[in-house]
Amino acid sequence: MNGPTHPVGAARSLGGEPGRDPDLHPPPRWAAKHRAEQTSPFFRLFDWVAGAADELLALAIPVDCVCCGAEDRALCAACSSRIRHLTRQPFRAEGGAPALMDVAGAILLPVVAAGVYREELAQGLLSFKRHGQHQLGESLARALASAVRAATRDGDGFLLVPVPTSTAAYVNRGFSPVHLLLKEAAGHLPGAVVVDVLRKVRPPGAQTPVWPGRPGGQKGLGRGARSQRVRGSMRVSFRSRPAVAGRSCIIVDDVLTTGATIGEAARALHQAGAKVRGAVVLAATRPPDAAEPAGASRAGPPKQP
């Protein structure tokens, strides 16, 4: 299937706030492990109570569609349909990520994107990453599941490995968007196996800021600078290595920009003995090249050795 060829549109801001995405403009690095689902019964109970309180609050306070402002739903039927339209044709997106291509233009790692980061898809993802609304999660997870199916077509035995979030982003949000979306998407993928083995670590030399005047964000940095910033920032612990050693893995993230983050995740998995076959993202900031021959951006499964 040929992917969309329209240009990327800028996401509108929500509720008058600047449309600032913590992943496109990340906060300062913290050295800590990713937090996934709570293991303590007490904290699971706390999360359940917090969720119930959110439901009661939603009954008391009317909600509007995050995309068009229609009343009563976080995502109205029309905008949900629009997101399905924007993600109906997953496409190969590594061509727009310079960190995943070598100097000769050869592919270092294939990436399948559900859609282009624009319009309702960008708006819905930004809002989900801020608030984690259940209605948005369902719609976005279906799109992510479709991209996973396109990436693993005619193949099985793949492990799905989510990219970890930083401590600062987790503290700001209270959850990991990628993990929530992948957990929901797994319900649409019979036999899918998710392994949460990647962890954030402090890169070597991170005690001294490398980019004066840029304490956290990567906006304005080129391919080499972005790659240098994330290099060494992920690892698979020795305890977790047996889960991926010798296994075919697909990396899962939400947004693809330069590919530096996915490249770092692939490095950490390779170091742990995993066979990284590719990556899947919900959205890519660059659409496939309109000048490519027909079918050049067609989504397809990673090749097995």
Question: Where do the domains of the chain lie?
Answer: 41-284
Q: Please report, rounded to a whole number, the percentage of residues in the chain having pLDDT higher than 90.
A: 44
Higher pLDDT, 167 or 5: 167
The continuous run of DSSP H or E covering 56 comes out as helix 41-60
Question: Tell me: the pLDDT tens digits for 3-25?
Answer: 433 333 333 333 344 445 544 55
Q: What is the mean pLDDT of residues 147-175?
A: 87
Paired tokens of 283? 């959205």
The continuous run of DSSP H or E covering 122 comes out as helix 119-131
Q: What is the mean pLDDT of residues 156-161?
A: 90
Paired tokens of 173? 């949000």
Higher pLDDT, 112 or 218: 112
Paired tokens of 279? 């990556």
pLDDT of 197: 96
pLDDT of 234: 94
What mean pLDDT, rounded, does the chain reach?
Answer: 77
Higher pLDDT, 69 or 107: 107
Please state, in angstroms and rounded to a whole number, the distance separating the CA atoms of residues 120 and 202.
35
Q: What is the mean pLDDT of residues 210-232?
A: 53
Q: Please report, as a single letter, which amino acid is at residue 211.
A: W
Close Cβ partners of 191 (under 8 Å, ≥ 6 residues apart)? 156
pLDDT of 52: 67
Alpha-helix runs per DSSP H in 174-255: 177-186, 223-230, 241-244
Q: Which of 148, 149, 143 is nearest to 252 (CA)?
A: 148
Q: How would residue 162 be classed by pLDDT, with cut points 50, 70 and 90?
A: very high
> Could you tell me which CATH class the domain 41-284 is placed in?
alpha beta
Higher pLDDT, 294 or 199: 199
pLDDT of 286: 84
